[in-house]
């Protein structure tokens, strides 16, 4: 498997994504970086890795970085991509932690976080809409996506349980048919 | 001390393994373990640490740094974070790499077709959850709508918009 993207570019872009992904819904920043702005991946490829990162155990943003890195540049892409993604935020949080415990800094940023949170809702909404427009094909896919949305969203079913219910159903609905 | 360090590392490791579909679902169990059971941080410290991790770029589960540092200094922060991220990253890399060799088979393509709507549905559920906690009055609703309008044009990087919204929120005292 040949590398699609140079390792140094992966470190640069993943590092920037790690440094700028503020306020939740962080996979939307990745979509913007590798699908919208650079066309390193097609939308359906991103969704494949996004889905995998959500189904596997572990923090999904980090899993997504590993999956995208492996796809773009093999093992080294996964390892360096994940490191580049984590290190900026880890260093900033370590600095804030030291300030908190040694200087008495207390996070009193509720107003700013409310503003950021509202913008992130808009960001994740527009990203999800783009993914749906680019990749959702066929009534079965729409039914499955709508069902897991209702289960995990409005009905507050635990994500793991929702996945356990819907994955077998979706795989059965999308099973290979005939010789094709 | 070494025993407690090992216990903390193990705790973050198994917490990472039950973390499916994002970090939010595991936060209550994380709090139970690090506050109520092992007393590595107080409830107030945990809340502040979680707030700091949300304020910081990168995964929210980097809260492991805060808890690990409080319990065992820099070594604790490193081990808790490695336990939270490393094993599942290796698992993801192995599965992704192996899957790439299978991708052209009909059953694998069917699997990808079947799993894609799951990912999109979970992302949409994330929008719903974020909206419920992030939009609570006309001001935050307006900010979200403005974000949608600006981002749909594609001329502004998301981080600038989010930072700008943070400044607006701070100035307005949302």
A48 close to A65: Cβ distance less than 8 angstroms: no
B116 min Cα distance to partner chain A (Å): 6
User: Same structural domain for residues B88 and B40?
Assistant: yes
Neighbours of B70 (CB within 10 A): 21
Could you state, in order of their start, the residue ranges of all structural domains in chain A?
7-108
Number of domains in chain B: 3
Judged against a pLDDT cut of 80, whether residue B34 lies above it is answered with: yes
d(CA B113, CA B120): 12
Half-sphere exposure of residue A85: CA atoms within 13 angstroms, side-chain side: 32
Confidence of residue A180 (pLDDT cuts 50, 70, 90): very low
> pLDDT above 70 covers what percent of chain B?
97
What are the pLDDT digits (tens) for B112-133?
888 888 888 888 888 888 788 7
Rounded to the nearest angstrom, the minimum Cα separation between B3 and chain A is 24
User: ipTM score here?
Assistant: 0.82
| Inter-chain residue contact B92 with A128, CB threshold 8 Å | no
pLDDT in tens, A93-123: 999 999 989 987 766 677 887 888 888 888 8
**Measured between CB atoms, does A112 come within 8 Å of chain B?**
yes
Cα–Cα distance for residue pair A152/B128, rounded to 1 Å: 9
Chain A partners within 8 Å of B172 (Cβ): 111, 115
CA B70 from centre of chain: 20
Are B170 and B121 in the same domain? no
CB contact under 8 A, A115 and B174: yes
Residue A141, Cβ neighbours under 10 Å: how many? Answer: 22
Cβ-defined contact of B85 to A62 (cutoff 8 Å): yes
B71 shares a domain with B26: yes
Mutant choice from B27, B63, B69, B118 vs A, greatest count of A C-beta within 10 A: B118
pLDDT tens digits, one per residue of A125-154: 988 888 888 778 789 999 999 999 999 889
The pLDDT, as a whole number, for residue A104 is 77
Q: Is B152 on the interface with A (CB under 8 A)?
A: yes
Out of B85, B124, B152, the one facing A59 most closely (by C-beta) is B85
User: In 10 A of CB B83, how many CB atoms?
Assistant: 21
Maximum mean pLDDT: which of A48-57, A76-85, B122-131: A76-85
B27 at A interface, C-beta within 8 A = no
Identify which of A25, A85, A144 has the shortest CB distance to residue B118.
Answer: A144
Q: Do B96 and B164 sit in the same domain of this protein?
A: no
Same domain, B155 and B126: no
Domain match, B56 and B142 both: no
Per the structure, the complete domain to which residue B84 belongs is given by: 1-102
Same domain? For B143 and B129 the reply is no
B12 and B1 belong to one structural domain: yes
Partner-chain residue, chosen from B91, B144, B172, that has the shortest CB–CB distance to A56: B91
Cβ atoms within 10 Å, residue A29 = 26
Whether residue B115 sits in one domain with residue B69: no
Residue B90 and residue B52 share a domain: yes
Mutate to test the interface with A, among B89, B103, B152 (most CBs of A within 10 A): B89
């Amino acid at each position: 498997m040949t590398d699609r993207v140079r390792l140094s570019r992966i470190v640069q872009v993943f590092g920037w994504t790690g440094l700028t992904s503020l306020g939740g819904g962080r996979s939307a920043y990745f979509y913007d970086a590798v699908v919208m702005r650079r066309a390193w991946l097609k939308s359906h490829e991103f969704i494949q890795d996004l889905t995998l990162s959500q189904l596997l155990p572990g923090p999904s943003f980090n899993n997504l970085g590993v999956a995208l890195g492996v796809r773009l540049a093999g093992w080294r892409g996964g390892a360096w991509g994940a490191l580049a993604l984590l290190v900026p935020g880890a260093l900033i949080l370590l600095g804030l932690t030291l300030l908190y415990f040694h200087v008495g800094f207390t996070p009193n940023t509720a107003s700013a976080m409310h503003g950021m949170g509202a913008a992130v809702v808009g960001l994740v909404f527009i990203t999800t809409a783009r993914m749906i427009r680019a990749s959702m094909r066929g009534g079965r896919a729409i039914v499955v996506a709508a069902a897991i949305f209702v289960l995990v969203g409005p009905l507050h079913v635990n994500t793991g349980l929702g996945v356990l219910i819907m994955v077998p159903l979706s795989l059965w609905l999308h099973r290979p048919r005939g010789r094709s | 001390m070494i025993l407690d360090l090992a216990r903390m590392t193990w705790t973050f490791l198994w917490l990472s393994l039950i973390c499916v579909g994002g970090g939010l679902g595991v936060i209550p169990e994380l709090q139970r373990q690090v506050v109520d059971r092992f007393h590595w941080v107080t409830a107030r410290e945990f809340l502040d640490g979680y707030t700091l991790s949300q304020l910081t770029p990168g995964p929210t589960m980097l809260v492991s740094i805060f808890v690990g540092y409080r319990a065992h200094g820099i070594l604790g922060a490193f081990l808790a974070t490695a336990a939270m991220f490393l094993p599942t990253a290796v698992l993801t890399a192995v599965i992704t790499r192996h899957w790439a060799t299978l991708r052209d088979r009909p059953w694998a393509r069917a699997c990808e077709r079947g799993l894609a709507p799951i990912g999109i549905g979970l992302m949409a559920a994330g929008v719903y959850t974020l909206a419920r906690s992030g939009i609570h009055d006309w001001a935050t609703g307006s900010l979200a709508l403005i974000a949608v309008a600006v981002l749909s044009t594609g001329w502004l990087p998301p981080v600038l918009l989010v930072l700008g919204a943070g400044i607006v929120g701070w100035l307005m005292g949302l």
